[in-house]
Amino acid sequence: MSTTVAPPARRTAPADLAPDPVAAVTAPGRPADAPADSTAAAALATDSTVAALAAGSTAAAAGPLDVLGVPGQINLDYAATAPCARAAADAVAELLPWYGSVHRGAGALSRRSTLAYERSRERVGDFLGVRADDHVIFTRNTTDALNLLARALPAGTRVVTFGGEHHANLLPWPAGAVRLPVPGSPATAVRSLDAALRELRRGATEAVPILVAVTGASNVTGEVWPVAELALVAHRYGARIALDAAQLAPHAPVDLAALDVDYVAVSGHKLYAPFGIGVLAGRSDWLDAAPPYLAGGGATLAVGAATHDVRWTTGPARHEAGTPNLLGAVALAAVCQALEAADRTALHLHEQALLAHLRAGLAALPEVCELRTFAAEAPRVGIVSFVVAGRDSAEVAAELAQRWQIGLRDGLFCAHPLARRLLAEAASRNGRADLPATALRASIGLGTTRRHVDHLLAALATLTDAN
């Protein structure tokens, strides 16, 4: 698929034009229980931040990758759901008057809607670097995409995953899936996969299909996985590889062809588009041979009078029965287009600087312990999980929300086996017996500023001082 996008203006400083939520710490509407002179608020509220707040709504129109948000609320929970990008909101607003049926009507509205849907498929495919004969199937999210792939596996397929995966990449696979131990380093992951595939191929013929399913970046630690190396190993043993790019794609280019990955799954709501849209892209043969993921209108070529007299279509429509999520697809495509046109190296450097600042600040707090699988310096995207020793994580998260208007995540992050293991490892690495049973996670992205990070660090410092 060729790249057909017209690049909008490049941006190098993603957050400086967005309304600064920290400013609203002093703005009217602050929750009544927020202390008027909280250390962080007093330290951070300045004339310029208040001015930025006042100017926020017009300034935010400047760039397609500015994110929407509510002034005063500091969102450090991008890994769960990223805020909506201006590009997505604009694309939806532009299409709304043309709202019409997709693939189901002859009228002008319907034809335009159908065109918009299929163009979105092309743009998202270009963004993901699909090959000419790959399918790009719209789903609800990554979970849906991986479940679709699980249903499309040829009979007898053996699946190999690692124990550190998100539940979406652990649970859909058929019985008998091999779950490799969480590796201590990217190199160990590659070696461990090599050994597992050698063992699986011993005695089994090349004809037994094998699918390796791995994440691109951990939703717990943000650590980046050696995807290209794992793909090389998988292919050496005649296996295919599926990439769960839910956390990688929002932070780094994901190119199927360049990585030599067979399938990729992403979620729109983690990629600055709205909820309810996701993608499974990859090799068409298994997908065309599989029973339709959903049975219904749009997935058929012909339906006869007899109960089972159905001829299913091939191509993406085979797995997209029912009226599709046009606005979701268009919004996701708009973000993909804006990201493609942006200077992603500059975005990466900006995010990495914030991440380093966040991690250094957390490391300086004696009661805070970070969770990690690989070495501390291993590459990672903007996600950090940690605990406050002696404090229940849910209580800390609630306090951060109520007193400091900071939103982050607490729990085991839909990766229970990994999170539990990392909590135990953190306890022994730090020699502490008072770590809580669940963790906190701060995650950053396009709209995050240094002020947001400082605000969290100041809040945690106050909170841990009171311990």
Ligand X SMILES: Cc1ncc(COP(=O)(O)O)c(C=O)c1O
Positions marked active-site: 414
The footprint of ligand X on residues 329-388 (CB under 6 A) is none
Q: Binding pattern to ligand X, positions 135-164, x when CB under 6 A?
A: ------xxx---------------------
Among 215, 337, 443, 448, binds ligand X (CB under 6 A): 215
Tokens describing residue 454: 């400082």
Nearer residue to ligand X within complex by CB, 294 or 427:
294
Q: Binding pattern to ligand X, positions 1-40, x when CB under 6 A?
A: ----------------------------------------
In whole angstroms, what is the distance from residue 453 CA to residue 444 CA? 9
The alpha carbon of 192 is separated from its chain's Cα centroid by a whole number of angstroms, namely 25
Task: Give the three-state DSSP class for 267.
Answer: strand
Task: Please name the residue ranges forming H helices in 260-306.
Answer: 284-289
Shortest spacing between CB 411 and ligand X, in angstroms: 11
Among 247, 284, 385, 443, binds ligand X (CB under 6 A): 247
Q: Does 166 bind ligand X (CB under 6 A)?
A: yes
Shortest spacing between CB 142 and ligand X, in angstroms: 4
Nearer residue to ligand X within complex by CB, 50 or 414:
414
Nearer residue to ligand X within complex by CB, 63 or 226:
226
Q: Is the dihedral of CA 17, 79, 403, 396 positive or negative?
A: negative
Name the residue with tokens 């000419």.
Answer: 132
Please, which residues have CB within 8 angstroms of residue 416's CB and are 6 or more apart in sequence?
Answer: 167
Shortest spacing between CB 141 and ligand X, in angstroms: 3
Tokens describing residue 81: 């759901």
Shortest spacing between CB 166 and ligand X, in angstroms: 4
Q: Is 39 exposed, middle or buried (0-12, 13-18, 19+ CB in 10 A)?
A: middle
Shortest spacing between CB 100 and ligand X, in angstroms: 27
Q: How does DSSP classify residue 213?
A: E
Nearer residue to ligand X within complex by CB, 22 or 212:
212
Q: Binding pattern to ligand X, positions 403-442, x when CB under 6 A?
A: -----------x----------------------------
In whole angstroms, what is the distance from residue 411 CA to residue 408 CA? 10
Shortest spacing between CB 243 and ligand X, in angstroms: 10
Q: Binding pattern to ligand X, positions 46-65, x when CB under 6 A?
A: --------------------
Tokens describing residue 340: 């493609």
Nearer residue to ligand X within complex by CB, 169 or 448:
169
* Cβ atoms of 257 and 230 closer than 8 Å: no
In whole angstroms, what is the distance from residue 209 CA to residue 196 CA? 14
Nearer residue to ligand X within complex by CB, 164 or 298:
164
Among 246, 273, 279, 442, binds ligand X (CB under 6 A): 246
Nearer residue to ligand X within complex by CB, 150 or 457:
150
Using only C-alpha atoms, the chain has a radius of gyration, in whole angstroms, of: 23
Among 25, 85, 168, 387, binds ligand X (CB under 6 A): 168
Shortest spacing between CB 165 and ligand X, in angstroms: 7
Residue whose Cβ sits closest to ligand X: 219
Q: Does 84 bind ligand X (CB under 6 A)?
A: no
Among 114, 161, 221, 267, binds ligand X (CB under 6 A): 267
Q: Helix (H) and strand (E) counts for the chain?
A: 14, 15
Shortest spacing between CB 247 and ligand X, in angstroms: 5
Q: How does DSSP classify residue 181?
A: P
Task: Give the three-state DSSP class for 241.
Answer: strand
Single out the segment in contact with ligand X by CB under 6 A; choices: 190-198, 239-247, 290-298, 301-309. Answer: 239-247
Q: Does 219 bind ligand X (CB under 6 A)?
A: yes
Q: How does DSSP classify residue 237?
A: T
Count of positions on this chain that bind ligand X (CB under 6 A): 13
Residue-wise DSSP of 352-418: HHHHHHHHHHHHTSTTEEE--SS-TTS-B-SEEEEEETTS-HHHHHHHHHHHH-EE-EEE-TT-HHH
Nearer residue to ligand X within complex by CB, 161 or 448:
161
In whole angstroms, what is the distance from residue 215 CA to residue 264 CA? 10
Shortest spacing between CB 217 and ligand X, in angstroms: 7
* Cβ atoms of 344 and 370 closer than 8 Å: no
Tokens describing residue 268: 């729109």
Q: What are phi and psi of 412, to 5 degrees?
A: -115, 10
Nearer residue to ligand X within complex by CB, 220 or 396:
220
CA nearest to 230, candidates 262, 265, 252, 276: 262
Binding site for ligand X (CB under 6 A): 141-143, 166, 168-169, 215, 219, 244, 246-247, 267, 414
